[in-house]
Structure 1
Amino acid sequence: MPECTKSAGYRAPRSRETLNQYYWFCLEHVREYNARWDYYKGMSPGQIEAHLRADIAWDRPSWAFGQSAAQAKRKTFNEEEILDPLDILGRSREARAERKRQAAAPRAPEGLRDSLATLGLDWPVTLDVAKARYRELARKHHPDTNNGDRKAEERLKVINVAFTIVRTHLTSEGLEKAG
């Protein structure tokens, strides 16, 4: 205050928008300033309500209990994202067992994955199983059984390439084991 000679050891905010900028006053004048200062001055009742609601959650987004922010946007529930170390929900046992089975299952070599998917086979596979599946698909997609359909012919070509890759891998693998 202009006429005050006391030391200014107490701070008061300048405005709602700049709460980290201060006026400095003596104790008597800071009390007077704070008594007159209205944080919500100039805000409508709706703005005040919105501000109070934002303050309740510390100005952070909130969503329904048991959801992450990404799930709140998608409006879906993924049981896998719930941490349940005490198995209260009783489902983590089955999920852990399934993950363990998948991890223990042998993975197909990198070059065979697409070919196996084309033939609809899972790894590991034997040459006899691959041949039987190839015959089944060849009969189904052969142009003669599909009245010369071009799409069936193209599909058969893809199946032929996939079977050749699988057969080559399985026969060369068998030769390596024998040798």
Structure 2
Amino acid sequence: MSAPPFSRSTRRVRAFAPDPDAPGRACDNPDCDLAGDYRAPKSRDNLREYYWFCLEHVRAYNARWDYYKGMSPGEIESNLRSDTGWQRPTWPLGRNGSIGEALEAELAAFAGLGRARAKPEPERTPSEIREALAILGLEWPTSREAARNRYKELAKRHHPDANGGDKGAEERLKTINIAYAALRSHLASMQAEASA
């Protein structure tokens, strides 16, 4: 005996079908005696309390409904961002210290490697930027953002205008500019090599 031919149900619920949880009462529109089979939220602050309307009145209600009415653009943006994470707190991976390490350990265990890899040893400072790092007061490894922030701080502190036109401050600023340019160039070449 052969198996019956595969058949798939093509029956779909129509978008305007009555709500199966309808309470079986009249439409909440005061001038209507039809059954209130369609729900509509009462306000954006309480989306779980409903009006119950007939099809005609729920369509009219939906045409007027504007969830974002009265919100500033910042509030709308915040609301949209919150919705992308289902109103739960989110943060980028790798922030707050051990999140990235914990994820790496879980992935290593999942991959059957037995245990997570040990942390790599800190990189040795490249000889061509040791002097620049010393001038800027930074340690290796450093990021472009950290270098830029430190440069801005030192440039503001040693600018001749901030020091009454002092020639010594002008010379220190020149040295800082040269050190920052060397460090920035080295970090840019490292990034180019990494992306190649």
TM over 0.5: no
Q: Which has the larger radius of gyration?
A: 1
TM-score by length of structure 1 reads 0.43
Q: Which has the higher contact order (CA 8 A, sep 6+)?
A: 1
